[in-house]
């Protein structure tokens, strides 16, 4: 479809937002009550788009890898998050305007102010305005840019701060505010010292008010607490994965970025349990060749954001990605995002820096999608190691472990001291305990030496600056055989975690363009796989004689599992198609008087606005091929005739 020029008009976020609002993809929740920051409702097309993305996620991950699905509760008693560390550490740094008391997120404040200064610098240096990132200009709460040139070394310093922004602690952010005179841009006032704000919504369970609870900020703990049951369901074997789709909640400090930062969101989380001594993946060979754009932590810590393209096989071989299981998921995430329509040129995998990592993670890579707000974390892929299972085991006394029968028992021999405690006490008095401790802590080599001395009749050991004589009556040392037939261990957890709202919004940006001949005519080029509606049925007129035909086409499509909608509103066909271009509907069929006479139907493709014609059944069969991915539009053009009818509607 190269003949369609999708870049005739530069991306205009306000146009996209107007479209999404007009067509009710989503809208601020409680809008008629003035809305609440960070809460959004999905309307019919947004709900369908989300449902389609989630359905594909279920097929791509859960079905494909036989994962065990869960549905655990959102409301969680406090002790669970005390153990997991969320009560103490799941917090952001906030600062207060010293005069108004307005609350700002500290890292966002630093970022926004420094970016505005850099933009002002560019302007002062006479660079074209389009060099300044669109998102900085379009933000509703944008910071006013003043064209002030900065010294070159200050520009470098700001860029370096921004590159490692996620790496700063709260006190460091406070230091940055002071040393760079960063103030609340809305008021010009100074801000106070950064303080931690816990992001979990708190509530209370039961009528007495005595049982504090939190809304989960992630679904993961629900998996971990059920680990023993899951393991049993999987016949005691690992590796395996559990998966869950559900809502989580984060009481963000001052969310202003639309769907990208919300207080309630739908996520998909996979917890893949592996043997800590063997993180290989049985299907890694299938993805080995896939080339990913990687941005590792060393590159970032050097102040750069240069991506390296590399096959995941090579990345694992070189130790850039820690293990095959992590690598397998990065590749599968990549495939999933491309399949639903994310632009591969605007996707990268970024490794977390040391300070940035969640408290439970030992390594973490984010799939970041570029949109008008910059590179946005949409999928996190963390190695949580044994952290969660260990802490819950310790707190509850319920062992969250795997027990494996060893194929061959491990047989070991060891020197073991045995004390004649009665004689020992009588002979040594208060030193008896000291001797037991010191001997008990001896290495195998030391025990062998002591055994040799005792076999000579006596030995001397040194303890607490004392010299103590020992004889074979006091203790003997014998070589014993040990046989271990069960290996018990806490598995490690690799966790791919998806924020569907962020993916959905980024996808909408990637899909949006305006027709070359008319910037007012927006199109969402969503792939048929995820498009809210696959086919629009457009009767030429609202006359009742079309009803049986509409019903027939609608039912035949439904039988093929294809979701269609009828638009029999009283506007022109052109307007109806334009409306559905905005809704991302890939195909439209028109029923006209020829349909009544000859049982023909025209088929329109959204992006090209090409129209084909054929018998109703042929058109439906072509649509089936198109929607299920068996045919391209080029194929369709060879199967059906081009339609040159008088529908001067484009």
Q: Which parts of 263-292 interact with a copy of itself (CB under 8 A)?
A: 263-264, 266
Task: Give the nearest distance from C-beta 400 to a copy of itself in angstroms.
Answer: 8
- Output the six-digit token pair for 254: 């001052």
Nearer CB in complex with a copy of itself: 252/605: 252
Consecutive H or E run containing 599? none
**Shorter beta-carbon distance to a copy of itself: residue 46 or 522:** 46
Instruction: Find the binder of a copy of itself among 170, 194, 222, 539 (CB under 8 A).
Output: 222
In angstroms, the CA 378 to CA 26 distance is: 18
Query: By C-beta, is 79 or 192 nearer to a copy of itself?
Result: 79
Q: Which is nearer to a copy of itself, 57 or 365 (CB)?
A: 57
Alpha carbon distance, N-terminus to C-terminus of the chain: 17
Among 53, 173, 225, 402, binds a copy of itself (CB under 8 A): 225
Residue 85 contacts by C-beta under 8 Å, 6 or more apart in sequence?
A: 359, 360, 391
Sheet holding 492-499, edge to edge: 240-249, 264-274, 492-499, 374-385, 363-371, 347-351, 291-295, 308-311
118 touches 136 (CB < 8 A): no
Answer for which of 9, 15, 44, 428 binds a copy of itself (CB under 8 A) is 44
Phi and psi, residue 3, nearest 5° = -75, -5
| 548-587 positions binding a copy of itself, by CB under 8 A | 558, 563, 565, 569
Residues 381-400 that bind a copy of itself (CB under 8 A): 392, 395-396, 398, 400
Of residues 398-457, those binding a copy of itself (CB under 8 A): 398, 400
Q: Closer to a copy of itself at the Cβ: 252 or 383? A: 252
Of 200 and 340, nearer to a copy of itself (C-beta) is: 200
Token match 């890939």: residue?
586
φ and ψ at 349, to 5 degrees?
Answer: -110, 115
- The two tokens of residue 619 are 């058109």
Residue closer to a copy of itself by CB (options 83, 323) is 83
Closest distance to a copy of itself from the beta carbon of 266 (Å)? 8
Phi, psi of 643 (to 5 degrees): -105, 120
Which listed residue (87, 118, 122, 230) binds a copy of itself by CB under 8 A?
Answer: 230
Told to check if 543 binds a copy of itself by CB under 8 A, we report no
Q: Which of 232, 277, 408, 441 binds a copy of itself (CB under 8 A)?
A: 232
Indicate the residue among 229 and 437 with the shorter CB distance to a copy of itself: 229
Q: Which of 19, 113, 253, 361 binds a copy of itself (CB under 8 A)?
A: 253
Compute the C-alpha angle 347/353/357, nearest 5°: 95
| Count of other CB atoms within 10 angstroms of residue 437 | 11
Q: Which stretch binds a copy of itself (CB under 8 A): 231-239, 308-316, 414-422, 427-435?
A: 231-239
Tokens of 281: 């993946």
**Nearer to a copy of itself by C-beta: 262 or 310?**
262
Residues 61-90 contacting a copy of itself, CB under 8 A: 63, 66, 68-77, 79-80
Residues of span 333-392 touching a copy of itself by CB under 8 A: 392
**Window 94 to 123, contacts with a copy of itself (CB under 8 A):** 94, 103
Strand partners, 565: 536
In the bound state with a copy of itself, the residue whose beta carbon lies nearer, of 10 and 206, is: 206
Write out the binding residues for a copy of itself, residues 127-146 only, by CB under 8 A. none
Q: Is 248 in the site for a copy of itself (CB under 8 A)?
A: no
Of the ranges 37-45, 144-152, 366-374, 631-639, which one interacts with a copy of itself (CB under 8 A)?
Answer: 37-45
Determine contact, residues 514/524, Cβ cutoff 8 Å.
no
Rounded alpha-carbon distances, angstroms, from residue 394 to 129, 391, 579, 583: 58, 5, 58, 52
* Binding residue (CB under 8 A) for a copy of itself from 251, 296, 506, 611: 251
User: Quick one: which H or E segment has residue 320?
Assistant: none
Stretch that binds a copy of itself, among 10-18, 43-51, 145-153, 425-433 (CB under 8 A): 43-51
Q: Pick one of 43, 212, 293, 425: the residue that binds a copy of itself (CB under 8 A).
A: 43
> Parallel, antiparallel, or unpaired for β 535-539 and 564-566?
parallel
Residue 129 burial (C-beta neighbours within 10 Å; 0-12, 13-18, 19+) = exposed
Asked if 196 touches a copy of itself (CB under 8 A), the answer is: no
How many Cβ atoms sit within 10 Å of the Cβ of residue 17? Answer: 17
Exposure string of 535-548, with b = 16+ CB inside 10 Å and e = fewer, is bbbbbbeeeeebee
With CB under 8 A as the contact rule, the residue among 11, 15, 51, 637 that binds a copy of itself is 51
How many positions of this chain bind a copy of itself (CB under 8 A)? 76
Residue 532 Cα to chain centre, angstroms: 22
For a copy of itself, the binding residue among 4, 36, 163, 322 (CB under 8 A) is 36
d(CA 429, CA 420): 13
DSSP result, 280-317: --TTHHHHTT-EEEEE-HHHHHTT----EEEEHHHHHH
CB nearer a copy of itself, residue 129 or residue 202: 202
Nearest CA to 504 among 331, 632, 335, 376?
A: 376
Which residues on neighbouring strands pair with residue 590, listed in sequence order?
A: 538, 602
| Distant-in-sequence, close-in-space partners of 296: CB < 8 Å, separation ≥ 6 | 308, 320, 351
Choices 39-47, 107-115, 181-189, 320-328 (CB under 8 A): range interacting with a copy of itself: 39-47
544 binds a copy of itself (CB under 8 A): no
Does position 210 interact with a copy of itself (CB under 8 A)? The reply is no
3-state secondary structure 188-208: CCCECCCEEEECCCEEEECCC
Between 261 and 348, whose beta carbon lies closer to a copy of itself? 261
Stretch binding a copy of itself (CB under 8 A), from 206-214, 277-285, 459-467, 482-490: 206-214
At closest approach, how far in Å is the CB of 559 from a copy of itself?
11
């Amino acid at each position: 479809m190269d003949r369609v020029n999708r870049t005739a008009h530069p991306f205009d976020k306000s146009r996209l937002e107007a479209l999404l609002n007009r067509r009710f993809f989503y809208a601020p929740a409680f809008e008629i009550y003035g809305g609440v920051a960070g809460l959004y409702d999905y309307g019919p097309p947004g709900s369908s788009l989300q449902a389609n993305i989630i359905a594909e996620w279920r097929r791509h991950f859960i079905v494909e890898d036989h994962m065990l699905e869960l549905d655990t509760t959102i409301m969680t008693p406090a002790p669970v998050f005390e153990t997991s560390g969320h009560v103490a550490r799941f917090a952001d740094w906030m600062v207060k305007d010293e005069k108004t008391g307005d609350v700002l997120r500290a890292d966002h404040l630093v970022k926004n102010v420094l970016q505005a200064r850099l933009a002002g610098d560019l302007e002062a240096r006479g660079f074209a305005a389009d060099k300044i990132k669109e998102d900085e200009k379009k933000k509703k709460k944008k910071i006013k840019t003043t064209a002030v040139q900065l010294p070159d070394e200050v520009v470098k310093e700001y860029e370096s701060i921004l590159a490692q922004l996620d790496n700063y602690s709260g006190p460091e952010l406070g230091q940055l505010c002071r040393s760079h005179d960063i103030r609340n841009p809305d008021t010009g006032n100074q801000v106070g010292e950064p303080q931690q704000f816990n992001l979990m919504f708190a509530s209370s369970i039961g009528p007495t008010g005595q049982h504090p609870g939190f809304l989960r900020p992630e679904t993961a703990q629900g998996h971990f607490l059920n680990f023993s049951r899951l393991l049993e369901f999987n016949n005691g074997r690992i590796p395996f994965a559990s998966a869950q789709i559900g809502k989580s909640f984060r009481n963000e400090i001052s969310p202003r970025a639309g769907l990208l930062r919300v207080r309630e969101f739908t996520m998909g989380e996979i917890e893949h349990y592996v043997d800590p001594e063997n993180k290989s993946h049985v299907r890694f060979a299938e993805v080995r060749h896939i080339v990913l754009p990687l941005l590792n932590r060393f590159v970032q810590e050097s102040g750069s954001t240069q991506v390296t393209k590399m096959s995941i096989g090579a990345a694992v071989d070189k130790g850039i990605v820690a293990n095959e299981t992590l690598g397998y998921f990065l590749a599968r995430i990549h495939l999933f995002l491309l399949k639903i329509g994310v632009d591969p040129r605007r996707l990268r995998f970024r490794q977390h820096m040391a300070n940035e990592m969640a408290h439970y993670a030992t390594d973490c890579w984010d799939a970041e999608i570029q949109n008008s707000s910059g590179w946005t974390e949409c999928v996190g892929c963390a190695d949580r190691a044994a952290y969660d299972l260990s802490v819950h085991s310790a707190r509850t006394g319920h062992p969250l472990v795997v027990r494996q029968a060893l194929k061959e028992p491990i047989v070991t021999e060891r020197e073991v001291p045995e004390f004649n405690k009665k004689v020992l006490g009588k002979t040594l008095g208060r030193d008896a305990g000291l001797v037991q401790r010191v001997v008990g802590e001896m290495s195998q080599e030391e025990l062998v030496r002591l055994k040799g001395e005792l076999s000579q009749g006596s030995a001397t050991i040194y303890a607490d600056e004392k010299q103590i004589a020992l004889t074979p009556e006091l203790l003997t040392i014998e070589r014993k055989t040990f046989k271990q037939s069960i290996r018990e261990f806490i598995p490690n957890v690799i966790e791919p975690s998806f924020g569907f709202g962020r993916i959905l919004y980024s996808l909408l940006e990637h899909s949006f363009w305006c027709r070359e001949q008319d910037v007012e005519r927006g199109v969402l080029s969503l792939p048929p796989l995820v498009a809210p509606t696959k086919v629009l049925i457009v009767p030429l007129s609202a006359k009742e004689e079309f009803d049986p035909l509409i019903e027939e086409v609608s039912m035949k499509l439904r039988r093929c599992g294809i979701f269609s909608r009828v638009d029999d509103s009283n506007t022109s066909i052109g307007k109806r198609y334009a409306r559905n271009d905005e809704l991302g509907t890939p195909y439209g069929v028109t029923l006209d008087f020829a349909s009544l006479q000859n049982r023909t139907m025209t088929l329109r493709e959204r992006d090209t606005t090409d129209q084909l014609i054929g018998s109703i059944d042929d058109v439906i069969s072509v649509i089936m091929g198109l929607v299920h991915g068996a045919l391209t539009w080029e194929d369709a053009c060879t199967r059906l005739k081009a339609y040159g009818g008088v529908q001067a509607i484009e």
